Amino acid sequence: MLSLEEADDLKFHPNIQCYELDVISTISISNAKDAILKNNKKIDVIINNAGVGYRSFVELSEDSKINDIVAINWLGVVKICRAFIPLFRAQKSGQFINITSVAGLVNLPLGNFYHSTKQAVESFSECMAYELFDLNIKVCTVQFGNAPTSFQKNVTKCPETSVKSYNELMKKVSDVLQKKSNKNTNLTPLIIRKLYHIAENRIKNLDDIQSDLMLIL
């Protein structure tokens, strides 16, 4: 996590260890890797789950916010995988589970930047899966919809504009996605169970890379 001050609720769980990690920083990733390996002889599975949202019209998008979502949603996955591949290779085993989204497969209004980063993770993951298969390092992606978390509430949005149709579309899309998130009350435990299933039943055949380990809800 970005700050260990956020770990208070987890301090009393004996099977949980928390480490400081910023996925956009190569140095932070390296430091976290070293700290993890001091407490664990082996790492079996890495789940790349860091992600942010940016809901904006193209003409109103800002460089800094575009850079942020690309750095976290896509380059963060790249940097984490790059850092841990040598470890998995030395172990002769390991698995990356990259969380993408239904938004990585279908496109909705105002999803220009979020959808693009999730599609990028899909392509990156598939290419890497072929690359690492003979090394017994597995890669899969998991796609799911709007879970009842704080994600939608924290999505960065462009401010209201003088363009009426823009304002109306922003409200409509935001309302629909929030409503969907609130409705999916049972989605989070389903996702957790699916991730455990994937981690415990690693893919055996190259053909499985594209098909068997994807969750679409």
Tens place of pLDDT per residue across the chain (217 aa) = 999 988 888 888 888 999 999 999 999 999 999 999 999 999 999 999 999 999 999 999 999 999 999 999 999 999 999 999 999 999 999 999 999 888 777 788 888 999 999 999 999 999 999 999 999 999 999 988 777 777 777 888 888 889 999 999 988 988 888 777 777 777 788 888 989 999 998 766 555 544 444 443 4
Q: Give the pLDDT of residue 212.
A: 42
Q: Give the pLDDT of residue 214.
A: 45
For residue 197, what are the contacts with CB-CB under 8 A and spacing of at least 6? none
For residue 39, what are the contacts with CB-CB under 8 A and spacing of at least 6? 17
C-alpha separations of 164 from 62, 93, 154, 160 in Å: 20, 54, 24, 9
Fold classified for 43-210 = Rossmann fold (3.40.50)
Q: Give the pLDDT of residue 213.
A: 42
Q: Give the pLDDT of residue 84.
A: 98
Domain boundaries, the chain: 1-41, 43-210
In DSSP terms, 48 is beta-bridged to 98
Alpha helices in 18-163 (DSSP H): 26-39, 63-69, 76-91, 112-132, 151-154
Q: Give the pLDDT of residue 209.
A: 47
Cα–Cα dist 192/101, whole Å: 15
Q: Give the pLDDT of residue 205.
A: 57
pTM (2 decimals)? 0.86
